[in-house]
Amino acid sequence: MTEYDHEPIRGLPGDLPAGERILWQGSPEWRTFARTALHTRWNGQLYAVLGNEGDDGRWQMRFWWKPFVPLLWLGGLLVAFGGLLALIGRVAQDVKRVRVNDKIAFRKTQQDMLK
């Protein structure tokens, strides 16, 4: 026997009034009521989910261990660092090229003045 056995329509205290009908009658997803936890360590992450209560009165609890997930962030940092090094190298090359061109132009003007 459940708490809904005395109800003519589950969730309603009595019959529907004349001319009315039920458009939709559902129940919430268990995921909206589940409790989750996340613990991060240097070598992985532990995910824990406390689900709903089963028919036998026991609670469902699930655990997942995801190894090396934090190292994904390290990979992203390495990519950003590599991009920064490439940018610095490019800027240094451009500065060097401008200096050389300025020296060449300066020497040409000096040679033209001496002639």
Residue type, 74: L
Alpha helix segments (H runs only) across the chain = 70-114
Domain membership of residue 39 (yes or no) is no
Average pLDDT score, the chain: 85
Do the domain assignments include residue 56?
A: no
100 is a domain residue: yes
112 is a domain residue: yes
Digit-coded pLDDT (tens) for 45-56: 999 999 877 788
Domain count, the chain: 1
Q: Tell if the pTM clears 0.75, that is, is over it.
A: no
**What does the pLDDT look like over 18-41, one tens digit per residue?**
898 888 777 777 667 788 899 999
85 domain-assigned: yes
The Cα-based distances of 52 to 24, 48, 62 in angstroms read 23, 13, 11
In this prediction, residue 77 carries a pLDDT of 93
Neighbouring residues of 114: CB distance < 8 A, sequence distance ≥ 6: none
pLDDT at residue 3 is higher than 70: no
In a domain, 31, yes or no: no
- Does residue 19 lie within any of the structural domains? no
37 found inside a domain: no
Q: Are 38 and 64 in contact (CB under 8 A)?
A: no
If DSSP codes are grouped into helix, strand and coil, which group holds residue 34?
coil
Q: Which domain holds residue 90?
A: 69-115
